[in-house]
A and B are shown apart, each in its own frame.
Chain A
Amino acid sequence: MAIEPASELSSVEGGTGFEAVAEREHAVGVGPWRLAGRRLRRNKVALAFGVLFLLLVALALAAPIWANDVAHTTTSANHLTEILHEGNKQVYVVSLSGVPVGPQWFAAGGKFFLGADDNGRDVMVRLLYGARTSLEIGIAAAIITTVLAVIVALFAGYMRGITDTILSRIMDIMWAFPVVILGVALGTALSIGGLKVGPVTLQSGSIAIPILIIGFVYVVYMARPLRGQVLSMREKEFIEAARAQGMGSFRIMFTEILPNLASTIVVFFPLAIANAILLEAYLSFLGAGVQPPTPSWGEMISEGIDRITTAPHLTIVPGLMLVLTVLALNIFGEGVRDALDPRSKVRISDN
């Protein structure tokens, strides 16, 4: 599987298109962000999916509420021998032949809303907690990727010289490892013994391990295009001016160049979350990500596939939630990119 190749994360350049429009009298003072905001607001579809994503996040955050107050159970409590009262009938949560009960909706007062899995666990509760885990990993990893990528891009692109050569070579090498393989290799290696770096020790079951791995693996894909942007920005006059003013390299990197990378970062971020969530699913499926019994979408799909012939809903439901979330992020990300892109839909020749 290839992740989004770098060409997907194409550079977005702010600037000139906006000044032309800003020349009009009543557009004075409207910066590119405001304009982008307006454009985005006009894109109903992107907004709708953005809201959808937020709803899913809200659902995930509501997981404890559901678990405690509605379903009255936890993610790993198994109710193998329990009996439900479906109308007049009495049904085993997990039948004697091992088939778990299907979605109850509200028939049992919210318990087993989406049914049970063959360990007798409440699928809805696991799904919501799984959402929490997957989103936590996705967002945290995306943050790590972004922060590291920006730092690498700034140093490599601005400092050039040895720093750039070394960093670029490292990036080339990392580029050679397909994402999944690298993630799996790291995941396996670290899941056996945990990670010990200096004073920091991470247990093998810790969620921080997948976060770090996924965050780390995607750095290269974001750093490369960002570095390209830094390279071209470096030659521009405002940087020359800053240097002439006596600003040191660090200050220039972080106070002059970084803000100009902002629009690219804003476009990349939702995509980074989407990719991280997907990678987590792949890793968990292969056993190199989130370890059972902790639920995550990937972990649930993985378990579901093992039992697909008897209980397909165990595969379909978490998969749908994942697809919906990743899709929402992708569509919203597209909308953000379109909003920030100064290339207007009509090309007018300059003469």
Chain B
Amino acid sequence: MLRFIIRRVIGMIAVLFAISVITFAIFNVIPNGDPAFRLAGHSATPATIATIRHEWGFDKPVYVQYEKTMEKIFSGTLISYSTQTNVDTEIRHDIWPTISLAVGAALLWMFFAICLGMYSALKAGKISDRFLTVLALIGISMPVFWVGALLSYYLGFKAGIFPNGGYTSLTSNPVQWAWHLILPWTALSILFIGVYSRLVRSSILDTINEDFVRTARSKGLGQRQVLLKHVLRNSLIPVISLWGLDFGAIIGGGAIVTESVFNLGGVGQYAANSIQSLDVPPVMALTIFIAFFVVLFNTIVDIMYAWLDPRIRLA
């Protein structure tokens, strides 16, 4: 098991390195035009541009540029020229709403997805199953920001039941913290419940036809026992792995539109705002940030998979 973990971690580092190179390429190498000009964004005066050109090494060869870029990002000295703020500080502040959103939504959607998926699988082919499938498909077909905007408007602005966006920190007021997050959790979950309930359903249907389930039944075990102990345990393995990946993506700021629509001030929203104002330094840092989390959770999930499924441990 330990060797497995070590190998995965090494792989992870290699991938992160590759990601940093790609990010660098995307922002500084591929596009047309002068990178220093792009970085300066709104405060593009000739003086600023010259400073940037020097600090980032645009007058030097590509690999020096890469080095300097990475240095800036990882040393926490990366500054957004447009807003004159330190990117690192901003991220540290914004991570909390993102984590709150991620954890709440992930638990919510997983709970409902398993319940609905299981129900659907047991009633496979019948009307209730078809109905739930259509609901799931509707959930997948709606853009999260559209759902979020409508929820916010009707339940927040007009009905006044929920606050109209914003974030209250957990430590200052737990009730308000939750209250502000209910709509965002719902909006985000609708999409994921759609995806995951179908995953759970098909995984259960696959597992139910496995030989060992037939063995379990032939042992005289009750239906519930067969379902919960043997079917569910096995069928959730692949689903949990994917869940880990999506969770990691959200923490890294993947819920970019949800945060923006509800004005939660999280990492994703920070990314969205920076993008819209064409402020490149934060976008670069955040791209690496989210990729890091995704890769991290990828590795965690691999390890978790091995823990859940004894067969993998040999690999």
Determine whether the beta carbon of B143 is less than 8 Å from that of A178.
Answer: no
Determine whether the beta carbon of B291 is less than 8 Å from that of A176.
Answer: yes
In the complex, what residue of chain B is closest to A7 when comparing beta carbons?
B199
In the complex, what residue of chain B is closest to A172 when comparing beta carbons?
B15
Measured in the bound complex, the distance between the Cα atoms of B38 and A193 in whole Å is: 9
* Smallest CB separation, B35 vs chain A (Å): 10
* Smallest CB separation, A36 vs chain B (Å): 19
Contact of A327 among B138, B195, B246, B290 (CB under 8 A): B138
Residues of chain B within 8 A of A185, CB atoms compared: 23, 26-27, 283, 287
> Which among A83-91, A101-109, A219-227, A314-322 touches the partner chain?
A314-322
Determine whether the beta carbon of A282 is less than 8 Å from that of B287.
Answer: no
* A-B contacts, CB under 8 A, total: 163
Determine whether the beta carbon of B143 is less than 8 Å from that of A282.
Answer: yes
- A281 on the interface (CB 8 Å rule)? yes
Contact of B257 among A45, A196, A285 (CB under 8 A): A285
Number of interface residues of A (CB under 8 A): 53
Known A178-B290, A308-B153; contact A188-B15, beta-carbon cutoff 8 A: no
- B238 on the interface (CB 8 Å rule)? yes
Residues of chain A within 8 A of B287, CB atoms compared: 177, 181, 185
Residues of chain A within 8 A of B272, CB atoms compared: 184, 286
Determine whether the beta carbon of B31 is less than 8 Å from that of A305.
Answer: no
Determine whether the beta carbon of A192 is less than 8 Å from that of B137.
Answer: no
Interface string of B191-202 (1 = CB under 8 A from A): 110010011001
Contact of B134 among A186, A278, A331 (CB under 8 A): A331
- A1 on the interface (CB 8 Å rule)? yes
Determine whether the beta carbon of A177 is less than 8 Å from that of B257.
Answer: no
In the complex, what residue of chain B is closest to A202 when comparing beta carbons?
B32
Known A176-B291, A189-B30, A192-B278; contact A327-B137, beta-carbon cutoff 8 A: yes
Determine whether the beta carbon of A330 is less than 8 Å from that of B137.
Answer: yes
Determine whether the beta carbon of B149 is less than 8 Å from that of A308.
Answer: yes
Which B residues, 247 to 288, have Cβ-Cβ distances below 8 Å to chain A?
A: 249, 252-258, 260-261, 271-272, 275-276, 278, 280, 283, 286-287
Interface string of A1-45 (1 = CB under 8 A from B): 110110110100000000000000000000000000000000001
Determine whether the beta carbon of A2 is less than 8 Å from that of B33.
Answer: no
Determine whether the beta carbon of A301 is less than 8 Å from that of B146.
Answer: yes
Measured in the bound complex, the distance between the Cα atoms of B27 and A189 in whole Å is: 6
- A276 on the interface (CB 8 Å rule)? no
Contact of B275 among A176, A195, A288, A323 (CB under 8 A): A288
11 CB contacts below 8 A, A to B, read: A2-B246, A173-B18, A177-B291, A188-B283, A193-B38, A194-B32, A278-B143, A288-B275, A315-B149, A319-B142, A331-B134
Residues of B that sit less than 8 Å from A by CB? 15, 18-19, 22-23, 26-27, 30-33, 38, 125, 130, 133-134, 137-138, 140-146, 149-150, 153, 157, 191-192, 195, 198-199, 202, 209, 238, 242, 245-246, 249, 252-258, 260-261, 271-272, 275-276, 278, 280, 283, 286-287, 290-291, 294-295, 298
